[in-house]
């Protein structure tokens, strides 16, 4: 297991088992477990893992954000609904399972990808308008990679 994966496993275990109210406390616990970590790295890890700080009556606490897990699951379902991804240099055309184009388009519109200008959906076809056609190949690859496991709930 690489150091990043080891750190992520430990972070998830620590926030599940303990009441952790600050990043300084989490950095200290990681170091005590033999996993050194800087504040900047920890902030990035927490974002990547979908860990958020909740304010409670007992004070702040870090917990996994279930919404990030749901988005990750939805991403995998959407990927299964896409049958093909093609483009002509200015427009991307997705073929989907029958009746699923609207759901796929809705996901893409809410995905937050900087190069998606918008989508139009039919029954089994989605037209994706890229914001920048010079980067259309990257957008096509990002859409194709929806089926790949994302890194701890992150999205491209």
| Residue range 43-89, pLDDT digits in tens | 999 988 889 898 999 999 999 877 767 787 889 999 999 999 999 99
| Residue range 14-43, pLDDT digits in tens | 999 999 999 999 999 999 999 999 999 999
Angle among Cα 33, 65, 62 to the nearest 5 degrees reads 45
Instruction: Yes or no: say if 85 and 143 are a contact pair by the CB < 8 Å rule.
Output: yes
Cα separation, 116 vs 49, in Å, equals 25
Cα separation, 142 vs 9, in Å, equals 26
| Residue range 91-125, pLDDT digits in tens | 999 999 999 999 999 999 988 899 999 999 999 99
List, in sequence order, every residue forming a beta bridge with 98; answer none if it has no partner. Answer: none
Crossing angle for the helix pair 3-17 and 23-32, to the nearest 10 degrees: 120
Cite the beta strand spans of the chain per DSSP E: 51-56, 59-64, 82-87, 92-96, 116-121, 125-130
List of domains in the chain: 3-64 (1.10.10.10), 67-147 (3.30.1360.40)
Which of 74, 79, 69, 96 minimizes the C-alpha distance to 147? 79
Residue 133 has pLDDT above 80, yes or no: yes
Report residue 64 as tokens: 């996994």
Instruction: Yes or no: say if 126 and 120 are a contact pair by the CB < 8 Å rule.
Output: yes
Number of H helices, E strands in the chain: 6, 6
Dihedral (Cα; 113, 117, 119, 125), 10-degree rounding: -80
Confidence label for 154 from pLDDT (cuts 50, 70 and 90): very low
């Amino acid at each position: 297991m690489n150091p990043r994966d080891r750190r992520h496993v430990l972070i998830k275990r620590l926030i599940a088992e303990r009441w952790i109210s600050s990043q300084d406390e989490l950095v200290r616990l990681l170091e005590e477990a033999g996993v050194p970590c800087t504040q900047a790295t920890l902030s990035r890890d927490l974002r990547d893992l979908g860990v958020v700080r909740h304010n409670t009556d007992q004070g702040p606490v870090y917990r996994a954000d279930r919404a990030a897990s749901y988005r990750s699951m939805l991403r995998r379902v959407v990927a299964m609904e896409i049958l093909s991804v093609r483009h002509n240099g200015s427009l991307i055309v997705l073929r989907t399972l029958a009746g699923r184009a609207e759901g796929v388009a809705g996901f893409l519109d809410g995905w937050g990808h900087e190069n998606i200008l918008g989508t139009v959906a039919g029954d089994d076809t989605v037209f994706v308008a890229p914001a920048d056609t010079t980067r259309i190949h990257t957008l096509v690859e990002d859409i194709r990679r929806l089926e790949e496991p994302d890194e701890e709930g992150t999205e491209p």
